[in-house]
Structure formats: structure tokens, C-alpha cells
């Protein structure tokens, strides 16, 4: 069993994992913009032929240390190139580099080419030529964190090129992304159930044609490569490829023969429809597709008559679309509203899967997304929404609430008891966001946090984090307890289902696994002390506001007057907002994530704070701190347990805390104060090492609020001064 890599557009990784496992690969694991795969060379070649989502399939030749260009050249030159490339053949190299030593991808590609050419010329007296369009061997180089991986591109180039495109519109959608739109809409299941496919703004027909080829079981690489090998790399198993190709040809012939006339592409531009017709002919699916010239604004059910012949649209189907949104095609919210209105009018009972420019444009459709995903169309971050159904039936008066089960009543009673216990403190302190429950009943293992928005008419949201159940607990019991917990929470807090964010916090090595969930893009504003803070309850595991640090943030606000404040590992900058509102002379906020820094900027703007006195710095906090020469009166440092971001050196708080604290204390003004906190439950402060450069006092009990008193180990906190 070998390992190889399949790259894809960001946002498609988990779809690609499922696809590769379904194609027979032993194991597939998602990473950024691709999937690490365990499988045979035949599995990799099958992926070249059958993957609808992969951009490239890369078979590694070597991995080696790569500190600089000399190490790169030496590592490539060490390979036996006579075994990989005929010196009379052609070569191309694609490169992707990250790190301080190699910063130019084209130069790195040139050094790889030089090494290959020099080796072959020295051994044979002949050298390969460069052909960037159709080389005999296409190599792929990735350099990251001082390690280089050199691979053969088994597909010989981008796999989104299916081989049928003869004409295209102004901004064509890549076929791989079109496949993701169809899969997120459940198109294979819809077609199997007799459904149809509609694209009312089809352009050159990519979504409709890709949908027809998917329904006909046509391998996406069938036309792209033919029986000839997609690469002339000697290691390619040509016999296996011909077997795979023959099987795919047989399946395609059978699938096209059975393909129903179940596809309609429609566009306002006659030239786009003409291009779509050419492409459908080249793809071999023209007979299954009806094309129509018309404005989406007037689309109604009658326009789907060509698919049934009886004047009525098919009972089930999927509407897809890629409305304009980039720099070449202006994004118009009114057009998105027209699209949503048209789909509700024409096919209200169907599903929809729409690739929109962003969350705002997705909302402009007026359609209620069942799921929303962030995907990238090239460099453009887009919102892919899945809607089912397009127009939900009119709401009926709710039935009388069902009586809670015995388990749900137990949870409800505990919630009410906790609320009574916290009521006096909440009213006295003006607390509107708090933890109401934290696995108080062990069999109902979840945390329930309450967020009450700071609006003219406050709304209550619940953030429910379900702790992963032990493996021995039957799945049926897990579901029952989850449902009982949610039923109790809805009754006690009187909130509708759509205002409850449910997430599962699974354990990983070193701590909780963080990731992205829905992509609703829905922010609400809550109040904490004097600060108004933006939180996102649905899109991430955490919300943008760690509630257990509330006392620490309020303490910083009290001590920040006329102080130079530094916030390290700042997350969304809530502590910075408190310091600024507390009268800080200046603030500096450091975090590696551009997303969190933008969130911090939005939080500052929400409170009318900004300008040159409030610096936002994107960078590795520890490296930045060691290079900084500023002085600060007040520093807050709340690092993660660990971090393995590709943009910085790996960080482990237990391993690095002495180095981190030494660097932070060195930046303190003579009377300055550093507050250091972390939530690693097994953390042990090296008190002897820290005592060499700082006076250190643990203040954890003072920083644990009443709503977290049940879990006094939620974090630990120390106050440090310079010796």
C-alpha cells in the first residue's frame, strides 16, 4: 500500500474523501486543498479517470529536507532520472513553495528542471525539452516547513478539463466545482428517483452537461485522455490503464443509452446557449438536454414542459446555478432575488444547489439554506447553499407541545435550578451571556451556553456543545439523550429550533479538535460590561467569545487606563476591545489568523474604536514578540494548547511557555503587569524557571466566574511582574 495526494479546490476536501473511498482507496484523509490517500498505483490511476472533484492526482517520487535552493537541487539530482524520463522526451514542472528560504515558485520549478536536465545530460549526453502544455512527464513540487515533496502528476495536468468543452462564456465554471454543486444538491439521488435538472442561468452549460455525464455514469477522464496514457512516466501501469479505460467505455455506452431527457439549460444570452449546444454535442449528451433562451425574471413552470411533454414540470428535481459574482461579471443582489423568486414560482417543491458570490448574495435569493458551505472558485471565496425544498409549505399552527420524557424533565429541572442559582449574580453584574449547564447530569454530557443579543428587542440563542460519548454507548442512546437535552432546553428557554447551535466537541491529541461547521455567516452582537461584541454561533466550534474569561477581560478594562496594552494570541480581540474602552493609551493585537484579526477589527468598529493607536498585527505571536522592541504596561497572553499552522512553527504551550513568558516579561515597562492564561488541563508551570526573571502569582480562583464554578479547571491564570 502506498500514499499519494489528490488536490482539489478549497472547500471540496470532504466530498473528495468520500469519492476516493467510494472508488476503492484504502483510506483518505482531508487536509487543506486536498486529500492524503492510501492506495495502490491502480487506485491512483482510477482516480485520474473517475474523480469528478480532484484537480490533480500526485504520485510522490521523493521527500527530502529542503532548507534552500541548493538543498532543493541536490535532493532532485539524487534521483535516478533515467528510470523516470526518457532524455528525448519533454518535461514540465509545477511548484508551490512556502517559507523564508524559497519564496518564488517559478524559480523553484526552474531549479527542479535544471537538476533533472543536468543529471540526464551527464549520464546520456542528451537532455529533455520543456513543454508546458503537453509534456511527457509533468512534475509537481511542494515545499513547506523545510521539507520538499516531488511527485509525478499522473493526469498530466488539471483534471477539470474533461475534453468536451468547445466554447465557453465570459466566466466559465470549472467542471470540478460544478460537480461539487451537483453533489451538494444530492443530484445522483434526485436523478435515481426520476428527477430533472434545471439551470436557469446556464451560461455555456457546464452544470447541466456535468449533471448529464454524472447521470450517464460517464467517467470524467474518458474523453480527456482516451486509451493513451495521460503521462509517459515509465512507472505508469499502462496495462491497468487500458483495463480501466475499457471498463469506463462500456459503462459510458450503457449509461448514455439509458439517459433520460431530464435536463434543461436556460440563459438570456443566445450566444451562451449556442456555446452550450456545441459543448453538449461534444460531450455526447445533446439528446438528453433541452436548451432555451429566456430571462430568469419570467421563468415559470411552463418553461419546463420540454422535459415532460404535458405542460407540467417534473414532480421532483434539482435547480442549480452559478449566478454572476466576480470582477468580470458584476454581482447584483437584485438578480439573486430574481433567481430565488423564479425558483419558488417554477419549481417550489424541488431542491436547489446554488454557488453564490458570498453569504450576503446567498441571502439575497430569499431561499432558506438547509446547509451552507464555503468553497473557493479559484481565489474567490464563495458560498454554496443547499436548499430543500425551495419553497417550504406554509406554516401551520403548531400542535400542543408534546409532554417531555422522563429524561428531558430531569434536564429541564436541572436547568431551572441552575438559572435560579445564577439569577442574583446575573442581575447584579448585568451578565447576558453565560453557561447554564455543563454535564451536570453525566448521561446528558453537553454544555449549554446562553447568548442574549444586545438589540432593541433582545433575542436568546443557545450554543450547545455535545461532548463525544464513549465508544461503548450505543448510537441509539446517544441520539435519544441528545434529543431529550434539546427538548428540555427549548422548553426552558422558549427558543425556536433555528436559534439553537448544536455541535459535537470531540477529543483529539492534546485537546479539542477545532474546525468549521455551517457557513451561515450570521453574526449577532452581545454585550459584556461596556463592550459590544460580535459572535458567530453556527459556523465554528467556538463562537468568538470564551465566556470563562469574562472576569479577566473586565479586570483588564479596569487596569487599562492610560496603559500601552498588548494582546497576544488575541483570537477575536475581545480583550482588546475592553482595554480600549477602559482608556488604554494604545493597543497592539497579535494573531496568526487574518480571519480573527478582521473579527477584532469589526469588534473595535462596533464600539467606535479605531485609528493608528490600535494596531492589528498578523503573525506568529511568539516570533513577533521575540523580535519586538516595544514596551507595554499591560499584557494579556492566552495561547492555545497547541498549534500546527502551516504559516508558523509548531507551538506547544507546555513546551514553549517559559520561552514565551521570558519574551513577554522582557517587553514589560518597569511597573508593567503580564496576565498569562491557558486552558490546557494538564499544564504545569515551570515555577523555578519563571522565577529567574519574574515575580509570579497564580490568580486562577479570582478569574473563574460563578457560571463556571462547576469546572474550576476550565483555565488557569497567573499575574507576572518583572524582577
What is the C-alpha separation between 432 and 442, in angstroms, rounded? 26
Q: Please tell me the predicted confidence (pLDDT) of residue 511.
A: 39
**Do β-strands 34-39 and 27-31 pair in parallel, antiparallel, or remain unpaired?**
antiparallel
Contact assessment for residue 170 and residue 328, using Cβ atoms and an 8 Å cutoff? yes
Cell of 99: 517559507
Every domain of the chain and the residues it spans: 2-153, 175-216+259-387, 406-512, 546-722
Class level of CATH domain 175-216+259-387: alpha beta
Residue 642 banded pLDDT, cuts 50, 70, 90? confident
Q: Give me the CATH code for the 546-722 domain, please.
A: 3.40.50.150
Taken in order 114, 119, 125, 130, the sign of the CA dihedral is negative
Contact assessment for residue 571 and residue 549, using Cβ atoms and an 8 Å cutoff? no
Fold classified for 2-153 = VC0802-like (3.30.2130)
pLDDT over 90 (residue 552): yes
Contact assessment for residue 84 and residue 135, using Cβ atoms and an 8 Å cutoff? no
Contact assessment for residue 614 and residue 580, using Cβ atoms and an 8 Å cutoff? yes
What is the C-alpha separation between 46 and 583, in angstroms, rounded? 63
Q: Confirm whether 2-153 and 175-216+259-387 share one CATH topology.
A: no
For 571-614, write each residue's pLDDT tens digit: 999 999 999 999 999 999 999 999 999 999 999 999 999 888 99
Cell of 100: 523564508
What is the C-alpha separation between 145 and 271, in angstroms, rounded? 48
The strand pairing partners of 447, in sequence order, are 438, 465
Residue 329 banded pLDDT, cuts 50, 70, 90? very low
Burial of 671 (0-12, 13-18, 19+ CB in 10 A): exposed
Q: Please tell me the predicted confidence (pLDDT) of residue 636.
A: 98
What is the C-alpha separation between 693 and 219, in angstroms, rounded? 66
Q: What is the DSSP letter of 629?
A: -
What is the C-alpha separation between 417 and 413, in angstroms, rounded? 6
CATH 3.30.750.80 fits 406-512, yes or no: yes
For 214-225, write each residue's pLDDT tens digit: 999 999 999 988
Q: Please tell me the predicted confidence (pLDDT) of residue 402.
A: 62
Closest CA to 543 of 645, 643, 461: 461
What percent of the chain is helix, strand and coil (3-state, nearest 5)? 35, 25, 40
Q: How far apart are the first and last CA of the chain?
A: 58
Main-chain phi, psi angles of 491, to 5 degrees: -70, -45
Closest CA to 68 of 145, 146, 141, 140: 146
**Helices assigned H by DSSP within 566-699:** 574-581, 594-606, 621-627, 653-665, 687-691
Taken in order 645, 650, 656, 661, the sign of the CA dihedral is negative
Q: Which residue has the cell 542528451?
A: 126
pLDDT over 90 (residue 153): yes
What is the C-alpha separation between 325 and 445, in angstroms, rounded? 44
Cβ neighbours of 681 (radius 10 Å): 12
Cell of 572: 477575536
Cβ neighbours of 629 (radius 10 Å): 6
Closest CA to 386 of 365, 374, 368: 368
pLDDT over 80 (residue 327): no
What is the C-alpha separation between 128 and 118, in angstroms, rounded? 10
Q: Please tell me the predicted confidence (pLDDT) of residue 516.
A: 44
**DSSP string across 262-308:** -EEEEES-HHHHHHHHHHHHHHT-GGGEEEEE--GGG--GGGGGGGT
pLDDT over 60 (residue 398): no
pLDDT over 50 (residue 514): no
What is the C-alpha separation between 59 and 41, in angstroms, rounded? 8
Distances, alpha carbon 193 to alpha carbons 186, 198, 543, in Å: 11, 15, 39
Cell of 396: 401551520
Q: Please tell me the predicted confidence (pLDDT) of residue 311.
A: 64
For 659-714, write each residue's pLDDT tens digit: 999 999 999 999 999 999 999 999 999 999 999 999 999 999 999 999 999 999 99
Residue 428 banded pLDDT, cuts 50, 70, 90? very high
For 615-624, write each residue's pLDDT tens digit: 999 999 999 9
What is the C-alpha separation between 586 and 579, in angstroms, rounded? 9
Region 404-417: what's the mean pLDDT? 94
Taken in order 58, 64, 70, 74, the sign of the CA dihedral is negative
Amino acid at each position: 500500500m502506498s500514499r499519494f495526494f489528490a488536490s482539489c479546490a478549497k472547500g471540496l476536501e470532504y466530498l473528495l474523501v468520500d469519492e476516493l473511498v467510494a472508488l476503492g482507496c484504502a483510506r483518505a484523509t482531508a487536509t487543506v486543498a486536498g486529500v492524503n490517500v492510501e492506495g495502490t498505483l491502480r487506485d491512483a490511476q482510477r482516480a485520474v479517470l473517475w474523480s469528478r472533484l480532484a484537480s490533480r492526482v500526485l504520485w510522490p517520487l521523493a521527500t527530502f529536507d529542503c532548507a534552500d535552493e541548493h538543498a532543493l537541487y541536490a535532493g532532485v539530482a539524487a534521483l535516478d532520472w533515467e528510470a523516470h524520463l526518457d532524455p528525448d522526451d519533454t518535461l514540465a514542472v509545477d511548484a508551490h513553495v512556502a517559507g523564508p528560504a524559497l519564496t518564488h515558485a517559478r524559480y523553484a520549478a526552474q531549479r527542479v528542471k535544471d537538476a533533472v536536465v543536468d543529471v540526464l545530460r551527464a549520464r546520456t549526453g542528451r537532455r529533455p525539452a520543456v513543454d508546458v502544455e503537453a509534456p511527457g512527464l509533468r512534475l509537481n513540487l511542494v515545499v513547506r516547513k523545510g521539507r520538499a515533496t516531488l511527485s509525478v502528476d499522473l493526469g498530466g495536468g488539471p483534471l477539470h478539463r474533461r475534453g468536451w468543452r468547445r466554447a465557453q462564456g465570459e466566466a466559465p465554471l470549472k467542471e470540478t466545482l460544478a460537480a461539487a454543486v451537483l453533489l451538494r444538491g444530492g443530484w445522483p439521488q434526485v436523478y435515481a428517483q426520476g428527477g430533472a435538472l434545471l439551470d436557469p442561468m446556464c451560461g455555456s452549460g457546464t452544470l447541466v452537461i456535468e449533471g448529464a455525464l454524472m447521470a450517464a455514469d460517464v467517467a470524467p477522464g474518458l474523453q480527456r485522455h482516451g486509451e493513451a496514457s495521460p503521462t509517459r512516466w515509465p512507472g505508469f501501469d499502462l496495462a491497468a490503464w487500458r483495463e480501466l479505460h475499457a471498463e469506463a467505455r462500456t459503462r459510458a455506452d450503457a449509461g448514455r443509452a439509458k439517459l433520460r431527457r431530464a435536463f434543461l439549460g436556460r440563459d438570456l444570452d443566445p450566444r451562451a446557449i449556442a456555446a452550450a449546444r456545441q459543448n453538449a454535442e461534444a460531450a455526447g449528451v445533446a439528446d438528453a438536454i433541452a436548451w432555451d433562451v429566456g430571462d430568469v425574471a419570467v421563468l415559470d413552470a411552463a418553461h419546463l414542459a420540454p422535459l415532460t411533454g404535458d405542460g407540467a414540470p417534473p414532480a421532483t428535481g434539482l435547480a442549480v446555478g452559478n449566478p454572476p459574482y466576480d470582477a468580470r461579471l458584476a454581482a447584483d443582489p437584485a438578480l439573486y432575488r430574481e433567481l430565488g423568486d423564479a425558483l419558488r414560482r417554477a419549481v417550489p417543491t424541488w431542491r436547489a444547489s446554488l454557488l453564490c458570490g458570498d453569504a450576503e448574495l446567498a441571502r439575497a435569493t430569499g431561499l432558506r439554506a438547509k446547509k451552507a458551505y464555503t468553497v473557493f472558485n479559484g481565489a474567490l471565496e464563495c458560498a454554496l447553499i443547499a436548499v430543500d425544498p425551495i419553497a417550504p409549505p406554509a406554516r401551520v399552527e403548531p400542535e400542543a407541545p408534546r409532554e417531555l420524557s422522563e429524561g428531558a424533565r430531569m434536564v429541564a429541572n436541572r436547568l431551572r435550578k441552575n438559572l435560579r442559582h445564577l439569577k442574583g449574580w446575573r442581575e447584579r453584574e448585568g451578565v447576558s451571556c453565560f453557561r447554564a449547564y455543563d454535564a451536570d447530569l453525566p448521561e446528558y454530557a453537553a454544555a449549554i451556553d446562553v447568548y442574549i443579543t444586545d438589540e432593541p428587542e433582545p433575542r436568546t440563542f443557545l450554543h450547545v456543545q455535545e461532548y463525544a460519548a464513549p465508544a461503548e454507548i450505543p448510537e441509539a442512546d446517544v441520539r435519544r439523550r441528545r434529543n431529550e437535552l434539546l427538548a428540555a432546553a427549548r422548553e426552558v428557554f422558549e427558543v425556536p429550533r433555528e436559534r439553537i447551535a448544536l455541535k459535537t466537541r470531540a477529543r483529539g491529541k492534546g485537546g479539542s479538535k477545532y474546525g468549521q461547521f455551517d457557513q451561515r455567516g450570521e453574526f449577532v452582537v452581545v454585550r459584556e460590561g461596556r463592550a459590544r461584541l460580535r459572535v458567530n454561533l453556527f459556523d465554528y466550534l467556538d463562537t468568538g467569545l470564551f465566556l470563562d474569561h469574562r472576569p479577566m477581560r473586565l479586570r483588564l478594562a479596569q487596569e487599562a487606563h492610560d496603559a500601552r496594552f498588548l494582546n497576544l494570541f488575541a483570537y477575536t480581540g475581545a480583550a482588546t476591545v475592553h482595554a480600549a474602552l477602559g482608556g488604554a493609551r494604545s493597543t497592539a493585537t497579535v494573531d496568526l489568523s487574518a480571519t480573527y484579526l478582521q473579527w477584532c477589527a469589526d469588534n473595535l468598529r462596533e464600539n467606535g474604536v479605531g485609528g493608528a493607536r490600535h494596531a492589528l498585527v498578523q503573525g506568529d505571536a511568539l516570533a513577533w514578540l521575540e523580535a519586538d522592541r516595544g514596551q507595554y504596561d499591560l499584557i494579556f497572553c492566552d495561547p492555545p494548547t497547541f498549534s500546527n499552522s502551516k504559516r508558523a512553527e509548531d507551538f506547544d504551550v507546555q513546551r514553549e511557555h517559559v520561552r514565551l513568558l521570558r519574551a513577554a516579561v522582557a517587553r514589560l515597562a518597569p511597573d508593567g503587569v503580564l496576565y498569562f492564561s491557558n486552558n490546557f488541563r494538564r499544564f504545569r508551570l515551570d515555577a523555578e524557571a519563571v522565577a529567574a526573571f519574574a515575580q509570579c502569582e497564580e490568580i486562577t480562583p479570582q478569574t473563574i466566574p460563578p457560571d463556571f464554578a462547576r469546572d474550576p479547571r476550565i483555565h488557569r491564570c497567573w499575574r507576572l511582574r518583572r524582577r
